[in-house]
Structure 1
Amino acid sequence: MAPGSVLETIRSVLQRTMVREFLAEFLSTYVMMVFGLGSVAHMVLGEKLGSYLGVNLGFGFGVTMGIHVAGGISGAHMNAAVTFTNCALGRMAWKKFPVYVLGQFLGSFSAAATTYLIFYGAINHFAGGNLLVTGSKSTANIFATYLPEHMTLWRGFLDEAFVTGMLQLCIFAITDKKNSPALQGTEPLVIGILVAALGISLGMNSGYAINPSRDLPPRFFTFIAGWGKQVFRAGNNWWWVPVVAPLLGSYLGGIVYLCLIHPGVPQVPQRLENYTARNQKMTASPNDGSAPISGSVPLERF
């Protein structure tokens, strides 16, 4: 096969909608996680170079950058719970669910590997070459969340479900064009501020994973990289909670917003002059549906 035809084949594959959405979720999640995990590494390894506030800002701005990277392609969910909720509420086809989640998981796993390589020397120096999951010299918590001593498994489950529910409810509010949405073009920043605010106000109890794609792939990376089976056994087998609880919490948060707020948003009556003016504008510049009429990011739409 000629090199030209190979390139054409690659281009045609990359232009397919599902492939573009997969790559968009992969890269946006990778960007978010590199910012987030890097900020955690600074807090754990850097003594005075990092802080809990820095972690929240790292993940918040990571979400903002991730949305800028891929918001116009896939919506930049970067979160399997958000994807699940959109599918469960009929806002996205279920056939896209495995595509989105696979992209998110691979992006998150790759970000964990990148973070490990970048901070490899500091990780080894911090614990004298030991890869520990618990204790004051643990480094597994750079990559995944672990329950603190004051929390039980089921209280942690409720905490994760509640915080993720708040996340999804607020995302729906921020992007609801019929309510009081963020100004066009500011959605990435506002959602990033939302993530940072959730961490600052509600993140202490369970580490606010609020995202299966944020927690499980890096945890699996640490298992492979040498931390061992303890990454799954720690905290009374805590690992499954950041996978299941966010799915439930996000779904319930979405239902709460759609049931209590969205139906009550007043509908602006359509006036004849507005209808005529819009028709004239559409006739003058038709849109074949291949691109959005506006340049806004297609995040969560109603």
Structure 2
Amino acid sequence: MAPIGQLASPENHPATSQNPNMSDHIPKSSTLFEQQYYPPGFFKKVVAELIATYMLVFVTAGSAALAASDEHRVSKLGAWIAGGLIITVMIYAVGHISGAHMNPAVTLAFAAVRHFPWEQVPIYAVAQLAGSISASFTLSVLLHPIKQLGTTSPSGSEIQALISEIIMTFSMEFIASAVATDTKAVGELAGIAVGSAVCITSIFAGWISMNPERTIGPAITNAYYKGIWVYIVGPVIGALLGSWSYSFIRVSDNPIQAVSPPSFAFQASLNQERRQWTTYLQGPSGFSLKFLYTDQ
């Protein structure tokens, strides 16, 4: 008997010693895991998510910084509209590639309702964080000497800010879940729907985040962390509640209604009736009335 340390070597394994190439055909669990959760195009999705988050933070934090420093250049209303428009633009730009989450709370919420793999959540979150920090440092160079580069902090109490973040993020994620995950909703309007939701909530609630990366990047660049937990916990809770709520109320798919419009369903039913009557009227003697029933 060979020593235990030699049992794993190809020379002492009878199957692999007879056919050295046989091991190449044995699927490895790690390879199967990578193919299932990290397909070849996954790296492109991560890069797309990084770029989309970069553009989101660059526009939202940049417009907020300009509005705070000089409202004659960018008004508050203009900054809020810009935030919604950049979301709309990026959804149409990379939504078909990465999903255009641009928000770890959204990624987590989609995973919670099984619309996104849990194994990809950390990598998406890292890409989003990298995009946020990169955009914030870019703004610090371009907008110098402006110091407060779009940082978010509670204007009132932290509890008030937390409730506001939960409600506004809930609204955004509820709409995103409807247009992005439900086949009955009009998916082509996802960008307009989500972007409009962000515009409306921003105009109503003012300087809100609804996105941890919208806060974390500028906070790191400015070393300003007052109430930062509000803008991490609030969006996560709101996004989870939004996705769960829509998953609860959404109507389950009906294959017949989903695939066939009413006119086609009626025609299919009529043709089936014709075939049944043809079979019934054709007697054992060979006499047939099939000529009376012809499918169009």
TM-score (norm 1): 0.69
Match in the other structure for 1:36: 60
* Deviation readout 1:73-112 (Å, 9 max, x if unpaired): 1101001110000111111111110111111111111111
Q: Is the counterpart of residue 143 in structure 1 residue 167 in structure 2?
A: no
* Partners of 1:269 and 1:26 in 2: CA distance: 35
Matched, 1:56 2:80: yes
Structure 2 matches for 1:126-165, cutoff 5 A? 139-140=147-148, 142-148=149-155, 151-165=156-170
Residue aligning to 1:300: none
- Structure 1 residues 150-199: Cα deviation after superposition (integer angstroms, max 9, x where no partner): x21122111111111111001122335444425x2x43233222211110
Is the 2:140–2:221 contact (alpha carbons within 8 Å) kept by the matching residues of 1?
no
Q: Which residue of 191, 194, 198 maps to 2:194?
A: 191
1:117 to 141, 162, 171: 141
1:8-33 residue CA offsets vs partner (Å, 9 max, x unmatched): xxxxxxx9322112101100111112
* Deviation, structure 1 residue 247: 0.7
2:175 matched to 1:170? yes
> Does residue 287 of structure 2 align to residue 263 of structure 1?
no
Contact 2:175 2:193 in 1 (8 A): no
Are the equivalent residues in 2 in contact too, given 1:108–1:217 (CA < 8 A)? Answer: yes
Structure 2 vs 1, CA of residues 270 and 180 (structure 1 numbering), >3 Å: closer, same or farther? closer
Name the CA shift for 1:264/1:215 in 2 (closer, same or farther; >3 Å).
same
Distance 1:117 1:152 in 2: 32
Q: How far apart are the structure 2 equivalents of 1:172 and 1:220?
A: 30
Q: Could you state the TM-score of these two structures normalised by the residue count of structure 2?
A: 0.70
2:240 corresponds to which of 251, 273, 279:
251
Question: Which residue is equivalent to 1:291?
Answer: none
* Contact kept in structure 2, 1:165 and 1:253, CA below 8 Å: yes
From 230, 233, 241, the equivalent of 1:241 is 230
User: What runs of 5+ residues in structure 1 fail to find an aligned partner?
Assistant: 1-14, 124-138, 224-230, 278-302
SS in 2 for 1:210: coil
Alignment partner of 1:98 is 2:105: no
Q: Match for 2:80: what amino acid?
A: N
Task: Verify the 8 A CA contact 2:176 2:193 in the aligned structure 1.
Answer: no
Letter in 1 for 2:216: L
Alignment of 1:188-227 (within 5 A): 188-201=191-204, 203-204=205-206, 207-223=207-223
C-alpha deviation, 1:66, in angstroms: 1.9
Q: Cα gap change, 1:160/1:271 in structure 2, threshold over 3 Å: closer, same or farther?
A: closer
**Conserved 8 A contact 1:65-1:188:** yes
Counterpart Cα distance in 2 of 1:264 and 1:177? 9
Higher relative contact order (CA 8 A, sep 6+): 1
Distance 1:43 1:264, change over 3 A: same
Identity of aligned residues (%): 25
Partners of 1:31 and 1:65 within 8 A in 2: no
Residues 143 and 222 in structure 1, CA contact (< 8 A), matched pair in contact too: no
Asked if 2 retains the 8 angstrom alpha-carbon contact of 1:160 and 1:249, the reply is yes
**Looking at CA atoms only, which structure, 1 or 2, has the larger radius of gyration?**
2
Alpha-carbon distance in 1 for matches of 2:260, 2:198: 39
Indicate if the aligned counterparts of 1:42 and 1:50 stay in contact, CA closer than 8 A: yes
Alignment CA distance shift 1:146-1:20 (3 Å) = same
Q: How far is the alpha carbon of 1:144 from its aligned partner?
A: 2.0
Gaps spanning 5+ residues in structure 2: where? 1-38, 269-296
| Residue in 1 that maps onto 2:47 | 23
Name the SS for the 2:72 alignment partner.
helix
The residue that corresponds to 2:274 in the other structure is none
Contact 2:77 2:203 in 1 (8 A): yes
- The letter of the residue matching 1:76 is A
RMSD between aligned residues: 2.5
1:72 alignment partner, SS class:
helix
Q: Give distance in 2, aligned partners of 1:211 and 1:18.
A: 23
Aligned residues: 226
